[in-house]
Chain A
Amino acid sequence: MGGRDKGQIRIVEAFLSVLIIFSAFTISANLTVTQNRTKNDNLASVGLQALIMLDSDGSLAKYIGDENWNGLRDVLNLILPTGVCFNMTVYDEQMQQINADIISNGGFGGQQIAFVEYVCASRGVTFHCYIIHLLLAVVA
């Protein structure tokens, strides 16, 4: 009887151990993924808001029209939060890439990558419509 009790207690102990370890693993993994996702989701929103802000006075189209890629990179660096990497590609209406230079502030070391697609209409006398692809990542 004593031996059987011992065995049962060991099983219960083992079960509890597994449960505790598994719970800890599940909760921590869940928390990590949730935090990553939240950052990732906010990132797309932050990127979209940055483009809207730049476009509000027509300066986004002006940078593109003037092919001032360095200026565009600098202004994006200023608007986006620190620790955010970006890589922008500008296309015309026929989806031909316009930017000859890379519009980016560094390598994508982070795991959380967000993508924003944006249409920019110019204000000038000659109308241009640009399609912008913006990739964002949080530096790890």
Chain B
Amino acid sequence: MPAPHARPQAEDAQLVERLYRDETGDAMRALYRLYGGELYGFTLNAVGDRGSAEEIVQEVFLRAWRHSASYDPGRAAVRTWLYQIARNAIIDTRRRAAVRPGLSQHDTPAEAEGGATLEQAMLGWQVAAALERLTPEHRQMIRMAQFRGLTMREIADHTGLPLGTVKSRTWYALRSLRLVLEEMGVTPS
């Protein structure tokens, strides 16, 4: 069974350590390409418009660059650290918008959808990122069973795979997901 693509946290921590001194921009590019997508998704979901989301993500990576010396790998994974910066940047943006009446009426989708908190959203995006690291076969099993509500038998019918394969693949998929989440510092309660 192929191993999930878990990324050692130490590599990310080294990237952050290089960030400020690196004049080539390579460390920042690498960090952005690793986390830019999910942070953009998280931010866009929270603020609701692309322009503001892009501005916030830009601010997140600039803050990470400016404050990279204060990053402590013993306290949080790089992903967690970046999400915290993004969360703070989103809150700053909302506060600024709230003092300007013209923009305060703009409800964000996350708030509009029954009060999902930023923390829950952060968790959701990290789990979505973990799913991305699984093999397509594993991801497919989890999506079909969890998100589409299909039974093992229905998945077997749908995919043409033997029922035994569907069951064992789902089991390995969940084990892989658990491993990736542990790597990311996210653990089920």
Are the chains A and B members of one assembly? no
Query: B: which residues have CB within 8 A of A?
Result: none
